[in-house]
Amino acid sequence: MNDKIAASTETSGSHVLELASLGLAAAADAIRSGDMTSESYASALLYQARAHADLNAFIAIDEDALLQAAKDADKARAAGVEAPLLGVPVGIKDSYLTAGLATSIGLERLAHFVPTEDADAVRAVKDAGALVFGKNNLVEMSYGLTGHNERFGQVKNPRALERVTGGSSSGSAASVAAGIVPASLGGDTVGSIRVPASLCGVVGFKPTTGRWPRNGVAPISHTLDTTGVFARSVEDCILLDQVVTGDQTAESVERNSNLVGARLAFAPRQFLELVDPEVGERFREVVRQLKDAGAEVFEIDLGEDFNSLIQTATWGIFAHETQGAISDFLRLHGIPTTFAEIYEGLKPQLRQAWEYMVLPSGPGATSVQDYKVALSVSRPEIQRRLKQAFVSKGAIAILQPTTPCTAPLIGEQEGLRIAGQEVSTLALANHTLLASSVGLPGISLPAGLSRAGLPIGLELDAPLGSDRALLSLSRHIERILGTMPPTL
């Protein structure tokens, strides 16, 4: 352990775990009021990172730079500087460019690449006074849903070390769940924030596509990619949303309001038929709890072909845009590699997947014609059906289990079974695809535990641009369902 960290944690003793349990807003308030220093907080989090090194949640942490930045934040506060996140460290998914700190995108060949610029979202949190704690582990090129990285290791679930975290923002979810950081920036194309949030028992917020800046973040699909955040409470997601967007009116409902009259929809035919029994049972119990709290929860049917419609359109767009999006990103930011070199260096399973559906010559590649149909026909049809739920029926959100199962065992990633059926790991995103397909804001909240003690997530998807209302609604629901403390 770094001697500076050891010295600072020895003096704080039992306070280390107390500090590590603080949420983002609480930590910011404590530093602002002088109840703790940024240096003591950063030291406690570094101690926690060391204690949980076996999670493989981080690829890069510059301890000396972090502690110096914390000292500088304390001096700034003493000088009267005010900022909403002054002195608070946050995690950053290693797909975000970070000036002066290595950005690997999960790849061996970029393990030592140090950018000279920050991604726009990183710059926004830094401008608000936040400190970059380190770079979170992720699936190579953000292409996977379990959290496995061949070069940097499988990220382990803090709630059960033998189980996956979900992906691709695996380290971000794990580090928040383990109390290493109070929040972490992640990325979501088909569920890469909400899936690991569900499996790790934290809050994962995917804004309306385009609400948060994406410049400087390694892409998959310019149509679907979204930056977002992991935290342990909705309040902290609201704070990050305010910081990143500059929108200080992110709360549209008073704190003391309730769910009375809130119209919430769920689609059992589409999202409850292929779920593990415990997940389905817990979802039904949540629906009952929300009704008891005064919400009007009702069933809708989005059509027999709805699942196949969003699956075909979303995965088709996802794969078709990958090569062009990555190539443009590498060129724009002067990253010292090429798409061809990345492809050749991928782990065998991922290289085979790219060969099948990403390369234009692949047997599973989406043709230009099918891609145009997905954009001009399928997506408008998905939007039309959702409009019936949101406008015609007055739903302010659609509810569903975030993932159809709890976290699978690490050793069973290639033989996943859901509701007794053997399925691909892509099935972990079966429910998150809804919001991704047309860019809706979506959030995953902890909704309880299975009998084995594994987290179950509740997803809420809302109309385009209604992020503030969704966050406010989610906070009210969170008061009913509770939050999940970190695994200190």
**Rounded distance, CA 87 to CA 185, Å?**
17
Question: Is residue 406 within 8 Å of 454, Cβ to Cβ?
Answer: yes
Handedness of CA 27, 229, 407, 398 (dihedral sign): positive
**Rounded distance, CA 470 to CA 480, Å?**
16
Cβ neighbours for 287, distance < 8 A, ≥ 6 positions apart: 266, 297, 399
**Rounded distance, CA 45 to CA 2, Å?**
13
**Rounded distance, CA 440 to CA 457, Å?**
18
Q: Is the peptide bond before 168 cis (omega within 30 degrees of 0)?
A: yes
Among the options 8, 38, 93, 175, which is catalytic? 93
**Rounded distance, CA 12 to CA 9, Å?**
5
Among the options 192, 221, 233, 436, which is catalytic? 192
Among the options 8, 40, 142, 168, which is catalytic? 168
Question: Exposed, middle or buried by CB within 10 Å (0-12, 13-18, 19+), for 373?
Answer: middle
Of 91, 7, 90, 84, nearest to 43 (Cα)?
7
| CA atoms in the 13 A half-sphere facing the CB of 221 | 27
* Residue 93 annotated in active site: yes
Handedness of CA 459, 462, 467, 471 (dihedral sign): negative
* Residue 192 annotated in active site: yes
* Residue 168 annotated in active site: yes
Would you please indicate which residues are annotated as catalytic (active-site) residues? 93, 168, 192
